[in-house]
Amino acid sequence: MKILLRIAYWLAALALLAAILGSLDYRLDQALLIGLVFSPCALLLEILMPKARKPMDKVYLALAVLASVILLIIVLHYYAWSRLDPRNLYRSAKEVPPMLINPAFLGLILTSLSYGDYFWAKWLDKRFKAQERSITFFSDRKSVSLRRSEIAYIESNDTEVRIVTAAGESYRNKTGISQWEHLLGSDFLRIHRSYLVNLSVSALASPDTVNVGGVPLPVSRKYKDAVRRFLGDSGSSPE
């Protein structure tokens, strides 16, 4: 259901973009085609921007996405439409509206689409949290089923992981921690190459430590920014 509602968001966004482009004297099929240019670029921005660690990396990524959108729009006008309609019923290359190559306007559209999808996904996660399915795995050759909310953290120990519950129970499993990270989703945060924690039972104890249900776990340098962003700053002086 969540996937269908995510798709519905992008279809609604495409319809809204088509309506905006229609005011620039585009036909419906033209407006939809240009609108499709924005969707993958906005998704790319949403996925890659959190992974950019340095401020300049974020700037370069934003400029690269903007340049890609402008290039695709120009290609549509100069090449694609003239080939699709040799009778020149489509707009010619010289009629690209200045608004569609204006970085400020394009940035506004891309940012709105990216943030809209991000917050929509967050709302859907909360909305369907009560209906979450149990995760079934094998521990010591026995089948175990746990709800995501029951898991406090995952600890990686070389060839196996340890699943620790909020109740203090512990299970062993051979599935890698990266696979667990993908399986558990956005309610869990990687704080160290060896630790994946449940955000709902975690608190930042210091710049280097996260308290998970009373258990202190180390934060590695690689994940410090993400930990501060999701759990807040404890007030201690950062390194």
Give me the CATH number covering residue 146: 2.40.50.1020
Answer with the one of 129, 147, 174 that is the final residue of a domain: 129
Task: Indicate whether 94 and 205 sit together in one domain.
Answer: no
Residue 125 lies in a domain: yes
Task: Give residues with Cβ within 8 angstroms of 176, minimum separation 6.
Answer: 156, 161
* Residue 170 and residue 155 share a domain: yes
Q: How many CB atoms lie within 10 A of CB 157?
A: 10
Domain assignment of residue 15, given as a range: 2-129
Residues 101 and 180 in one domain: no
Collapsing DSSP to helix, strand or coil, 169 comes out as: coil
What pLDDT does residue 109 have? 92
**Predicted pLDDT at 153:** 97
Distance (Å) of CA 182 to CA 175, 186, 190: 11, 9, 11
Partners of residue 89 on adjacent β-strands: none
User: Please, are residues 205 and 179 in contact by the beta-carbon 8 Å criterion?
Assistant: no
Tell me how far apart the alpha carbons of residues 194 and 48 are, in angstroms, rounded to a whole number: 23
Is 236 within a domain? no
Same domain? For 17 and 94 the reply is yes
Burial 169-180 (b: 16+ CB within 10 A, else e): eebebeeebeeb
Residue 238 lies in a domain: no
Q: 129, 158, 187: which is the final residue of a domain?
A: 129
Q: If you compute the radius of gyration of the chain from its CA atoms, what whole number of angstroms results?
A: 23
Same structural domain, 50 and 113? yes
Q: Read off the pTM.
A: 0.51
Residue 24 lies in a domain: yes
Per-residue pLDDT of the chain (239 residues; tens, 9 = 90+): 778 898 999 999 999 999 988 888 888 888 888 889 998 899 888 888 887 778 898 899 999 999 999 999 888 877 766 665 555 444 444 477 888 889 999 999 999 999 999 899 888 877 776 455 678 999 998 999 998 889 999 999 988 999 999 999 999 999 999 999 988 988 899 999 999 999 999 999 998 999 998 999 999 999 999 999 899 754 443 33
**SS3 state of residue 145:** strand
Q: Please tell me whether residues 118 and 206 are part of one structural domain.
A: no
Give the per-residue pLDDT at 166: 92
| 16-51 burial: b if 16+ Cβ within 10 Å, else e | ebbeebeeeebeeebbbbbbbbbbebbebbbeebee
Residue where a domain terminates, one of 129, 148, 166: 129
